[in-house]
Amino acid sequence: MNQESKLTPEELEKIITLRDSIRTNVEKIGKMNIQKYFLQKELDFVNEQLSALYDESMTLSEQEKASIQEIVTKYGEGQLDFSTGVYSKS
């Protein structure tokens, strides 16, 4: 026995409105996922650049330490006045 019932216009409109809202919501989710993807790509690029800069900082710091050690070896323990370039032994 197949019994059919016709929805009222209000009931049908409510369901149609909800389906439209769901579709709009899914579209927004899709757009946000696309934005997230491109932002993640940009963040990955920034992180790679930062990593390279951190590596460079470590290399420069090591070079600075080596240069200071050369000065100490050459002149003995002391202090360098960076504004004048004068090295005073302790």
The confidence band for 1, taking pLDDT boundaries of 50, 70 and 90, is: low
**Phi-psi map region of 89: left, alpha, beta (phi>0 left; psi -120 to 50 alpha):** beta
Average pLDDT of the segment spanning 36-63: 98
| Mean pLDDT estimate for the chain | 95
Dump the DSSP string for 25-73.
Answer: HHHHHHHHHHHHHHHHHHHHHHHHHHHHHHHHHHHHHHHHHHHHHHHHH
Question: Where is pLDDT greater, at 26 or 88?
Answer: 26
Whether residue 13 is contained in a domain is answered as: yes
- The domain in which residue 27 lies consists of 9-89
Structural domain count of the chain: 1
Whether residue 3 is contained in a domain is answered as: no
pLDDT of 90 reads 78
C-beta of residue 52 within 8 angstroms of C-beta of residue 66: no
Convert the pLDDT of each residue in 11-39 to its tens digit.
999 999 999 999 999 999 999 999 999 99
Whether residue 64 is contained in a domain is answered as: yes
pLDDT of residue 61 exceeding 90, the answer is: yes
